[in-house]
Amino acid sequence: MTILPSGHAPRDVYRLMTAMIVPRPIAFVSSLSREGIRNLAPFSFFTAVSANPPVVCFSPMIRGADGSKKDTLLNIEATGEFVVNIVSEGIARQMNECSAEVPPDVDEFALSGLTPVPSETVAPPRVLESKACMECRLLQVVHVSALPLGGSLVLGEVLLFHIDDGLFEGDTLNPGALRAFGRMGGSTYVRTTDRFEMPRPPQGERGLKRRE
């Protein structure tokens, strides 16, 4: 089967993409409005971009109902700061509560019962219950589409990592202790408990061989 995106409603294209591009990690982003109202929202269009300097990105989509920007994007454009909180299974329910569309004057920390903790380098608080957080300064916003279900790419430099000591095994993080999970299509999520090792092949076995 071949599918031409232009022949289908954006909502159907969104469902198709989110069912194919899986599993997706979740950025639980905390931000502040100019008036100091706290915001907390999950985004599953999220990944790392660079390690030198450390940069992460996520994509808040334009609301399909009225074509407006998400509060998170408005806050970051206004203040230039945000925190990415990694979601573990223990706060899955609270994360889901923060996915609801609520008025901009609603404090999602209060709504979800999660605990705000002052950050050290940025104004938005981090989530106490999150085992790993990244304080970020905005580098750039790339507006890809202003249409309903369009998106913007938010790039942020990580200024400070907060990581629970219990996650470390030597100098590496134990994924079993983090208990992060991923988003699938629709309302389906997946745990990261089924893992296996696959080392990369030696350098000499990769790529094209040069003819002598």
Residues 85-107 pLDDT 10s: 999 999 999 999 999 999 999 99
The reported pLDDT for the residue numbered 208 is 52
Strand positions, DSSP E, the chain:
27-32, 38-43, 46-51, 54-58, 81-86, 116-117, 126-127, 132-143, 152-163, 168-169, 172-173, 181-183, 189-191
**Cβ-based neighbours of 122, under 8 Å, separated by 6 or more:** 81, 82, 83, 135, 136, 137, 159
Domains annotated for the chain, with CATH where assigned, are 23-186 (2.30.110.10)
Q: What digits encode the pLDDT tens for the residues 27-56?
A: 999 999 999 999 999 999 999 999 999 999
- In this prediction the pTM is 0.92
Q: What pLDDT does residue 67 have? A: 86
- pLDDT for 27 equals 98
Sites in the chain below the pLDDT cut of 50: 210, 212
Question: What's the pLDDT score for residue 65?
Answer: 80
pLDDT at 5: 95
Q: What is the pLDDT of residue 86?
A: 98
